[in-house]
Structure 1
Amino acid sequence: MDIFPISLKLQQQPCLIVGGGRIAYRKAVLLAQAGAIISVVSPDIEPDLLEIVQNTQGQHVQSVFNLTIELRDYRLVIAATNDAATNKAVFEACEVEKILVNSVDDPPHCRFMVPAIVDRSPLIISIATNGQSPVLSRQIRTQLESSIPHEMGSLVEFSGKWRSAVKAKITHPEERRIFWEDLYASRLKEQVFNGNIEAADALIEQALIEWKTPKGEVYLVGAGPGDPELLTLKALRLMQQADVVIYDRLVSESIMNLCRRDAIKIYVGKARSNHAVPQEGINALLVKYAQEGKRVCRLKGGDPFIFGRGGEEIQELYEAGVSFQVVPGITAASGCSAYAGIPLTHRDYAQSVRFLTGHLKEGSPELPWSELVYEHQTLVLYMGLVGLEKICARLIEHGQRSDMPVALISKGTTPEQKVVVGTLADIASKVTEHQIQAPTLTIIGEVVKLREQLQWQR
């Protein structure tokens, strides 16, 4: 995070703008809306800007900027002239006094940025790009403007009215947060949006009467193959309300960044011959935190029920009497094949698809080989990189032709995705040549030929 976002209270606080033109005017409008007392230093000043200065009880100093101006009298300063040297001088003078300063459209000479703003007072949303793309900030603001109801500010005011009563009734902060989250998911929000405040008051009064200490729960969530945009809406919602997140090795950093920021995060990833926490330990953690009343998100790469041992985990929860939900995720076979431009089935090439695990047992893969040797079938191997050479050899031994196409998809759907194509006869030799690393998905079948035509991720 290159910049730290804060919200400043500027009511009746003196602020200085250096510059008297249209740029200065636009900044003055925002400061005035925040209740600031605005003074301007400039030889000339536009009438609209002068009116704001007068209305806010500020002063116009009819002068060029100079070091005799007492900057320490101001909460913040904005340099809004069309002269780069002047703006730089303002910045340097403010730095000496440790005053917050912004030089318009000059990021190197800014101690703070003025963001694009969505105003649903008292709810304020700001969007900033560290001065690198103001146009993009404004476009994102436009998107938010269309998706956030104008009445959201009324909900904030309503919540503020009831805050003390809720705090008195529910003294534990974590329980209080859950109360508000449940309340916002109920009919109350629509009642406030529609102006039915009496009905909303009745709903919250009843909710406080009926409130009981919440029981813990586990969310078994599929995080998909890596691209955070492949998360389901429900997955994202539960990730953001969980108190504890227990996550696997295949869950990407970009997805973890979408979890609730103050949640406890516990890594239990498994690599070959290196389990950070054994499965029994993971099961025990889920039960432990849920029985403490926590909402636990068990975040698993791909889909939790496809080679993810999710079934084992919820069996343990069931036996312990712990409530749980399951949120399916896009499994690696579906996500990685799509991003590689390889359809798993195609009328002309494959009418069936089989998902298999390539894990070795006692040094050799155990698979129903005779069932796998079929021309119009696609095979998808999870965790098959280590045993790839043996798997290819066994398929050939059981009658599969050696020139059957094979694709390796490493780190599929992520920016590091790498796809290598070969045949059963030569694909194992390409692993070292192309430095293919786990996690890697293997696709075997005629459909691999379509990648050359259908690949869309370059």
Structure 2
Amino acid sequence: MNHFPLFADLKERTAVVVGAGLVAERKIALLRAAGARVIVSARAAHPQVLARARAGEIELRLGEFDPALLDEAWLAVAATSDRAQNRRVADAAAARRLFCNVVDDPELSSVQVPAIVDRSPITIAISSGGAAPVIARRLRERIESLFDPALGALAALAQRKRPAIRQARPQLRPRRDFYDWLLDGPVLGALRRGRAGEAEALLDQALAARNPPPAGKVLLVGAGPGDPGLLTLRGLRALNEADVILADRLVSPAVLALARRDAQVIDVGKAPGGPHESTQARIHALMVSHARQGRCVVRLKGGDPMVFGRGGEELQHLKRHGIAYEVVPGITAALACGAYAGIPLTHRGHAQSLTLATAHRQAGASGRDRPAASGDGGDGRTRVYYMGVERLPELSARLLAEGHAPGLPCALVENGSRPEQRTLHATLGSLAHAAQRHAIRSPALVIVGAVAALGPDLAWFGETVQAETASAGDSAARQQAAA
């Protein structure tokens, strides 16, 4: 090791910062967060530093640096743009055997300030020894995504309960197992939901029991539309916690590749036109069975689990069977497909409301979608239809019959956000014919409304196809609507 890592307790101890620009302000903020008493020496001060001084957060000494300021200090920081001045500070600190950090100057520094992942009281520090601070910051960004924000609250609770844990689990191995249960079980989940009282009660119940109960739970996770970069940080952590993953057909292989290597992946996808109800019953049974065996089950759904994903039904089933669960939202297909196709779903000049609907209707379902105004500009509303590719003729005919103009702009986004994305632009009257001609296949989303006309100009991702003016298609759609 080029440097010996340390964590310094600076609470109520003096740290001297020389310099009062924006770089110095960042160091001041870190020192204040650690509870240090901060003295700042500078010839002039940035307004943010002046504001701290006026608020009484720091002591500001304007003028030339006086080495005597370091006599009572525990740490010195040199953060000026004058290297000669920084060297004077470093020399004065060395004469007092005082650690000194010179910002962006490892040669003059006797101590480095690392990139920090803060889950207080848990702190993770990453340092390159001043050789490549940008790499250290990039590593910090990656590590941030792996650690639950609630870990700090869990560590604080464990610290407070440490005497009780030692008393209830005097042997080292059972005590280690209990701490493993704290990390993997329902206590962390309760803290994540902001329920500190529930978390403490769960911990106390487990301490009173002879052995911790199985930590089985189900995480209902939205995988997003396919681009793994659109998976949420919480979704990524869930995939790394999973013992079992129940994956839908629309979850992309790139997202599954982010999961724990030893997780059991079970394909529970539903093929279009297949026996959905029997498949759903199997999913319910698998969730309950694996959770009751103490496993962390991730129910991984394309898009968002609560938008046309039957997530509500699955939560109701888990609730009835007493299984702990959490929901991790994902980016739903409407938002992703619109964004990746360059189509703003709302726009001040074109659409002031947004409707998400499914083209699938249960038997006996009703409800008409009449426009408030006719014409190619639509009614100031964007409609997005999920699962509509197989029912495009029916959907187009219904909208035409309800009074929407054949020239109303439409878009079909196939494989939205994935490398093979295609966006087909057409009109309501020609949509079904154009989709057939260009062989659009599921998964694809239908966007209906004036905003769709903005797509060809604003498109930035994937292939964009402009359907030919198809009067024959318009005519056929009108005839079907009339029928």
Name the TM-score class by shorter chain.
0.5 to 0.7
Where structure 2 has 5 or more consecutive residues not aligned to the other structure, the ranges are: 2-123, 127-132, 145-169, 190-203, 374-378, 463-483
**Residue in structure 2 matched with residue 457 of structure 1 by the alignment:** 461
Corresponding residue number in structure 1 for 2:367: 368
| Alignment match, 1:415 | 419
Among 362, 376, 383, the residue aligned to 1:379? 383
Residue 226 of structure 1 contacts residue 251 of structure 1 at CA under 8 Å; is this kept in 2?
A: yes
- Cα deviation for residue 329 of structure 1 reads 0.9
Cα deviation, residue 371, structure 1: 3.5
Letter in 2 for 1:227: D
Partners of 2:400 and 2:426 in 1: CA distance: 15
In structure 1, runs of 5+ residues without a counterpart are 1-28, 30-122, 126-137, 150-164, 187-205
Name the counterpart of 2:174. Answer: 169
Structure 2 CA distance, aligned partners of 1:241 and 1:285? 18
Residues 353, 379 of structure 1: 8 Å contact kept: yes
Equivalent pair of 1:360/1:387 in contact (CA under 8 Å): no
Query: Retained in 2: the 8 A contact 1:268–1:275?
Result: no
Quick one: distance in 1 between partners of 2:184 and 2:307?
Answer: 31
Q: CA separation in 1, counterparts of 2:332 and 2:310? A: 13
- Amino acid paired to 1:399: G
- Aligned CA distance change for structure 1 residues 180 and 344 (closer, same or farther; 3 Å): closer
Cα gap change, 1:372 to 1:253, in 2 (>3 Å): farther
| 1:400 paired residue number | 404
Partner of 2:318: 317
Which residue is equivalent to 1:217? 217
In structure 2, what is the Cα distance between the partners aligned to 1:339 and 1:409? 9
Aligned partner of residue 336 in structure 1, secondary structure: helix
Q: Deviations over 1:137-179 (max 9, x none)?
A: x997873278669xxxxxxxxxxxxxxx99843798xx98656
Partner SS state of residue 368, structure 1: coil
After TM superposition, the structure 1 = structure 2 runs for residues 182-261 of structure 1, keeping only pairs within 5 Å, are: 212-261=212-261
Deviations 1:254-297 (A, max 9, x none): 00111111111111101212248611111111111111111111
- Which residue is equivalent to 2:428? 424
Question: Given the superposition, is the C-alpha separation of residues 262 and 312 from structure 1 closer, same or farther in structure 2, using an over 3 Å criterion?
Answer: same
Return the alpha-carbon distance in structure 1 between the equivalents of residues 285 and 212 of structure 2.
26
2:184 and 2:432 map into 1 onto residues whose CA distance is: 52
Q: 1:433 aligns with which of 434, 437, 462?
A: 437
Partners of 2:245 and 2:417 lie apart in 1 by: 23
Residue 373 of structure 1 and its aligned partner are, at CA, apart by 6.0
**Kindly tell me: are residues 373 and 283 of structure 1, through their superposed partners in 2, closer, same or farther at Cα, counting changes over 3 Å?**
farther
Residue identity matched to 2:287: L
Distance 1:457 1:181 in 2: 40
User: What residue is the counterpart of 2:284 in the other structure?
Assistant: 283
Aligned mates of 1:267, 1:221 — CA distance in 2: 15
Q: Decide whether the 8 Å contact of 1:349 with 1:376 is kept in 2.
A: yes
Q: Secondary structure at the match of 2:413?
A: strand
| Partner AA of 1:143 in structure 2 | R
Q: How far off is 1:455 after superposition?
A: 1.4
Q: Mark the CA change 1:270 to 1:373 in structure 2 (over 3 Å): closer, same or farther.
A: farther
Structure 2 counterpart SS, 1:262: coil
Q: CA offsets, 1:194-222, max 9 Å, x none?
A: xxxxxxxxxxxx9x978724331110111
Alpha carbons of 1:380 and 1:166: their partners in 2 closer, same or farther (altered >3 Å)? farther
Report the Cα offset of residue 356 of structure 1: 0.8
Change (3 A) 1:372 1:354: farther
Answer yes or no: is the 8 Å Cα contact 2:239–2:259 preserved in 1.
yes
For 1:298-377, what aligned pairs fall within 5 Å after superposition?
Answer: 298-359=299-360, 368-371=367-370, 375-377=379-381
Could you tell me the TM-score, scaled by structure 2's length? 0.54
Name 1:444's counterpart in structure 2.
448
Change (3 A) 1:372 1:230: farther
C-alpha contact (below 8 Å) 2:181/2:212 kept by paired residues: no
Q: Tell me if the contact between 1:217 and 1:290 (Cα under 8 Å) persists in the aligned partners.
A: yes
How many Å separate the matches in 2 of 1:356 and 1:266?
Answer: 29
Q: CA–CA distance in 1 between the matches of 2:235 and 2:282?
A: 24
Q: CA RMSD in A?
A: 4.2
